[in-house]
Amino acid sequence: MKNRKPLVAMTWTMRQNKSLEARTYAKQLRKLLGEEQQIDLVLFPSMGTIYVAAEELKNSNIQVGAQTISSYQYGQYSGEYSIESLLDIGGKYIEIGHWERRMLFGETEAMINQKVLLALKNQVQPILCVGEQNKETDLQDMDYHKVYLEIKRQLFNGLLDVEKNELANIIIAYTPRWAVGQSLAGMCQVY
């Protein structure tokens, strides 16, 4: 397996929702990081501004990805974002299985697996998010065996039916619920 550069993913969630602010922010990112060679950079804009951000970051070293996609390539799925739309704007990454999608939108592990397989089929790199879903922030009291089993289950189900030769095309991101949006990093033994 070839060595991979470190990857830094930046997710806007639903914070930059207007075209003007998305364009301004993307311009600033491009100015600050657009020529970075040591690491791979991916921006996951809010879905309403993904096209604007992609246009602004075109021809820079910052890639654009989608925060989610439909489990289906195309069809009558109102409100869904098609992988074809992502490919059309040059997107190369998809964030899949984020705890917010699992908990707030009811994404099942079967749906997450469908998205991973769809991404691979379309040569888009999935970033499979795994991690414990509880809000526990006191890491001293955390049941690490339970965490291990939860992550193992998420990996097994998320990677079901993935061909062995495709595994190197998947990025696994440890994104536990308690760490998302926090100003302090977790303790190192957790990682």
What confidence tens digit (pLDDT) does each residue in 94-141 have? 999 998 999 999 999 999 999 999 999 999 999 999 998 776 656 667
Specify the pLDDT at position 191. 42
Structural domain boundaries of the chain?
Answer: 1-67, 94-191
Specify the pLDDT at position 57. 97
**Lowest-pLDDT range, 18-22, 35-39, 144-148, 155-159?**
144-148
Tokens for 97, please give them: 């299985």
Contact 47, 86 (CB under 8 A): no
50-57 and 19-33 helices, crossing angle to 10°: 30
Contact 122, 95 (CB under 8 A): no
Alpha-carbon gap, residue 4 to 43, rounded angstroms: 18
Contact 12, 181 (CB under 8 A): no
Specify the pLDDT at position 184. 57
Specify the pLDDT at position 29. 95
CATH, range 94-191: 3.20.20.70
- How long is the chain? 191
Tokens 């925060």 locate to 67
Alpha-carbon gap, residue 1 to 168, rounded angstroms: 7
Query: DSSP characters for 174-185?
Result: E--GGGTT-SSP
Q: Cα separations (Å) of 11 from 41, 145, 168?
A: 11, 29, 23
Task: Note the pTM of the prediction, 2 decimals.
Answer: 0.90
- Per-residue pLDDT for 182 more than 70? no
Closest by CA position to 11, among listed 38, 39, 37, 49: 49
Residues above pLDDT 90, as percent of the chain:
74
- Per-residue pLDDT for 54 more than 60? yes
- Per-residue pLDDT for 181 more than 80? no
- Per-residue pLDDT for 185 more than 70? no
